[in-house]
Amino acid sequence: MEKRILKLEFDIGTASRSATGTNDDVSKSMQLVQRERDRDIKEKEELRYLNDRFAHFLANIEQLKRINEQLQAQLKDEFSKWGILPRDENELQQIINQINNRAPKRANDEVRSRAAEQESAILNRAAALYG
């Protein structure tokens, strides 16, 4: 938030000022004060709005935490129904990791195999044409 300083300067007791000039100064000062009040009210409304949004986000996070806990409980129930125990989870995770690690190697091998097949086909055509 920016820091604002409102300065009001009044010339009191000068002979050169007319009565309407003093009223104009007071009127301008009042306008400045009113502008500052309006700005403060607007900032308060904006902060209230942001605070409400933040509270809504926090409520959503709490709800997601509860849903996550429920899903974890359901997952544990399913594991127990199927006979998957925590000791089996580690082994299962290792197997999943092995599969995931082998997938890129397999894809790379397939690409090399197709490239070799195409190269072989090209060589066979060249041999048939020139051989």
pLDDT 10s digits, 58-93: 999 999 999 989 998 998 888 778 776 667 778 888
What do you get for the CA distance between the two ends of the chain, in Å? Answer: 84
For residues 26 and 24, what is the distance between their CA atoms, to the nearest angstrom?
5
Q: Are 32 and 6 in contact (CB under 8 A)?
A: yes
Rounded average pLDDT over 106-119: 89
For residues 83 and 32, what is the distance between their CA atoms, to the nearest angstrom?
76
Residue 14: band (very low, low, confident or very high) from pLDDT cuts 50, 70, 90: low
pLDDT of residue 102 exceeding 70: yes
Q: Are 98 and 88 in contact (CB under 8 A)?
A: no
